[in-house]
Structure 1
Amino acid sequence: MGTDLKRELLRLLDEDEEFRYAVAGRIGILEILKRLDRLEEGQNRLWEEVRSLREGQEKLWEEVRSLREGQNKLWVEVKELKKAYQGLSKRVSAGFAELGSALGVTYEMHAAAYIQVLLEELGYPGAKVTRGWALKDGEVLEIDIFCEEPLVVGEVTTRLRDEMEMDREINKLMDRVEAVSSKYGKKPFLAILSVGVAPENLVERLREETAKHGIKLILGREIEEALSA
């Protein structure tokens, strides 16, 4: 075979794919070459997918970092809100305490004025209703409503919310009735429990319990109606 022919054949093998496959088929390696080509194509696609996965992973980590930063900012805001809420809660509690105290004094004064009018209507025009005190077992007990002649002992509360508070106020009043009875040697002419506000479902129960103990119950609405008349 001449040198020129060999060179031409080699050139064709390098440059002419169809010729190359024809020669490969003749010598039995065509199928192998085709499979190698397919493997190379598959490998290229695989590397493309790997690159895409890496890019996706990097984007995912970016999103995770952004979420963490957002979460950290959120926790900072939550802590600030908690601090603000705690401060507000303290101020509101203090405000309600001051308001409750102010309302208590006002209602107590109204209750005292109402009871003084009541005593005048009962035939005691000179009766003087004030605050008082008495001793029981060495303890000084303050009395919200007190009149020496006729002897009157009363307790005032701005609000009753349930039966537990009702029982506590009744027992508190009965302790003072007992202490005053011991001090003056006689039972009070009137034992009074004045309640500013109570739920409707508690009022009937309150009437029953005060009647059972010989206590005159005066509700806030009765005082309001009498003083505004």
Structure 2
Amino acid sequence: MSNTLSKEEKLRILKSIETDQEFRYSLLGALGLTEILNRLDTHAKNQENILAEIKKIWEEVKELKEGQNKLWEEVKELKATQNEILKEIAKLWQAVGDLRKDVNELKETTKNMQKTLERLTLTVEDESKEVIAYRIANELNEKINLERIFIDDEEINIYGVTDDLFVIGEATVRLGVSLIDELERKIDKIKKNRPDLIRKKMIKVIYFDIATPDSIELARKKGIWLLTIKGDITQRIIHETS
């Protein structure tokens, strides 16, 4: 018997290989190729898994890139905000510098004004001593030397004595109520702490350039002689101290 297949059988076998999967695998198994196919199937599945993982990684990379872009945008906005803050800080420091300059200029102006006021006050004080001494000498026939004294570190601008008269007062550019109260307090202090400076008769006097109306009224009530270079503002009164 011949083992050679006929042409029809060969065609039928080829047709079965193309169309019949079970036959095809059986034939491959008979030929020892099943394990190879299984490996190929496993490899194909592994490839699919790898491709799926790669796809997943690319998705994650895409999300990471989007997050990175968003982060850069936020950094950019933060940098812009920081630049604005730095500009505002620079403006603030400039304002502080200008303020310090203004304060220093104000201090210098105040210092100069104080010096001017001190010089003016000294001028008024010197002038007051000459005018008051002259008036007392010519009108009361009392020659008196007026000077500045200190009682417990407290200054009295005008003070002078004769045998039974003492003159006490202040010299100022601008007279207010507070200076009148201060003079009365100083007189009380002298009477209490320095009776050796007191005489039987007393003249209270304030020499000034300008004065408030209420200070003039109060001085009149207290019996204080107010005068300027032009003349008397209130009457001169000689007080008895004993």
**Match 2:215 to one of 206, 219, 226:** 206
Give, in whole Å, the separation in 2 of the partners of 1:171 and 1:63.
Answer: 68
Counterpart position of 2:207: 194
Measure how far apart 1:119 and its partner are.
Answer: 1.4
Give, in whole Å, the separation in 2 of the partners of 1:172 and 1:109.
Answer: 20
Output one character per residue of 1:132-164: Cα deviation in whole Å (capped at 9) or x when no partner: 4376xxx36543222322532221222235x44
**Match 1:93 to one of 101, 110, 113:** 110
Letter in 2 for 1:117: Y
Structure 1, unaligned runs of 5 or more: 1-56
Q: Kindly, what percent of the aligned residue pairs are identical?
A: 17
Does residue 232 of structure 2 align to residue 216 of structure 1? Answer: no
Does residue 185 of structure 2 align to residue 171 of structure 1? Answer: yes
Counterpart position of 1:114: 131
CA spacing shift, 1:174–1:118, aligned 2, 3 Å? farther
The TM-score normalised by the length of structure 2 is 0.52
The TM-score normalised by the length of structure 1 is 0.55
CA spacing shift, 1:182–1:212, aligned 2, 3 Å? farther
Does residue 159 of structure 2 align to residue 151 of structure 1? Answer: no
Contact 1:154 1:192 in 2 (8 A): yes
Matches within 5 A, 1:19-38: none
Structure 2, unaligned runs of 5 or more: 1-73, 232-242
Measure how far apart 1:115 and its partner are.
Answer: 0.8
Output one character per residue of 1:30-87: Cα deviation in whole Å (capped at 9) or x when no partner: xxxxxxxxxxxxxxxxxxxxxxxxxxx9998787455334312211201211221232
Letter in 2 for 1:143: I
Counterpart position of 2:60: none
**Structure number with higher relative contact order (C-alpha < 8 Å, ≥ 6 residues apart):** 1
Q: Which has the larger share of helix?
A: 1
Measure how far apart 1:116 and its partner are.
Answer: 2.0
**Match 2:100 to one of 69, 73, 83:** 83
SS in 1 for 2:143: coil
Letter in 2 for 1:70: K
Measure how far apart 1:194 and its partner are.
Answer: 1.9
Give, in whole Å, the separation in 2 of the partners of 1:186 and 1:140.
Answer: 25
Letter in 1 for 2:215: L
Give, in whole Å, the separation in 1 of the partners of 2:199 and 2:146.
Answer: 20
Q: Which has the larger radius of gyration?
A: 2
Give, in whole Å, the separation in 2 of the partners of 1:83 and 1:140.
Answer: 36
Measure how far apart 1:130 and its partner are.
Answer: 2.2
